[in-house]
Amino acid sequence: MATAALRRSVSAFRGLRTTLPLASVFGAARPFSSTVAVKMPSKMPSSGALVELAKGRHSIYKLGRESPVSDDKIEELVNQAILNVPSAFNTQSTRLVVLLHKEHERLWEIAMDCFQGLVKNGTLSEETWKGQTQPKLQGFKDGLGTILFYEDPAHIKPYQEKFPSFKDQFGPWAEHTNAMHQYFLWIGLESLGFGANLQHYNPLIDSAVAKQWDVPTEWRLISQLVFGSPEVEAQEKPKKPVEERVKIYGKL
């Protein structure tokens, strides 16, 4: 079920894609450069479409399996995230695993199995499992796909060695770039007409997931973005006042 806001976001995003072809921004001659020819944009791009997408993004927990697009479109979006989201020192350490349809369902069955293990060993009560955890996991399983966000330390360590003065920063920076991928894909999926929510069942599910999909065990699972057809109207959450959270100086 696409809401009016969602439809507006989708058309705004499509508008962004058609009004801002990369060639029009980066394509023509820059006379004083010997290397790259850059075309100045004929008019300044508007942030409106991006803002509409940001405003239309919400955590949607009631998801269905109807897809507004082909799986190819989802793959294309994920590939664009991996190609275009920046990383510190261009480390490109983020890894994405996309699970669709039956594979997505398998993920949430694995999560259920992990929790049932906790019930068996007494860590989780039967009551909490039946009343809360199981229905929640079933809600995720009812969706259409999940994107798993990983960080590959093999692509961080060499930079820590090469730039020792930033050694302790590369860990947090890897988290930052991973979060950027998450946000890009959250609003990107919204732009395709999906609803989504962000989960963190790591580290409980890590080893079972790595085994199921042959994920290198060194990769660190950071989060899971669950998506599907939005089955409820998005709920706007309360916002703290902007003026408490933004300071601006030098504004003309």
Ligand X SMILES: Cc1cc2nc3c(=O)[nH]c(=O)nc-3n(C[C@H](O)[C@H](O)[C@H](O)COP(=O)(O)O)c2cc1C
- By the rule CB under 6 A, 197 interacts with ligand X: yes
Does the protein bind ligand X through residue 59 (CB under 6 A)? yes
Stretch that binds ligand X, among 102-110, 116-124, 196-204, 210-218 (CB under 6 A): 196-204
Exactly one of 199, 220, 225, 228 binds ligand X (CB under 6 A); that residue is 199
> x/- binding map, residues 85-124, to ligand X, per CB under 6 A?
----------------------------------------
192 interacts with ligand X by CB under 6 A: no
Quick one: which of 237, 245, 247, 251 contacts ligand X (CB under 6 A)? 237
CA dihedral 60, 62, 64, 68 (to 10 degrees): -30
Of the candidate spans 8-16, 27-35, 145-153, 194-202, the one that interacts with ligand X by CB under 6 A turns out to be: 194-202
User: How far, CA to CA in Å, does 31 sit from each of 7, 22, 152?
Assistant: 42, 19, 41
Q: How far is the CB of 234 from ligand X (least distance, A)?
A: 7
Strand-pairing partners, residue 226, are 146, 197
Give CA separation, 4 vs 22, 128, 143, 194, in Å.
29, 37, 21, 13
Residue 58 makes contact with ligand X by CB under 6 A: yes
Number of Cβ within 10 Å of residue 167's Cβ equals: 13
Q: Which residues touch 162 (CB under 8 Å, ≥6 apart)?
A: none
**Is the alpha carbon torsion for 135, 141, 147, 150 positive or negative?**
positive
The stretch among 83-91, 106-114, 163-171, 192-200 that binds ligand X (CB under 6 A) is 192-200
Handedness of CA 93, 99, 103, 109 (dihedral sign): positive
- Min CB(103)–ligand X separation in Å: 21
Rg of the chain over CA atoms, in angstroms? 21
Interacting stretch for ligand X, rule CB under 6 A, among 40-48, 66-74, 81-89, 198-206?
198-206
Residues of this chain that interact with ligand X (CB under 6 A) are 58-59, 197-200, 237
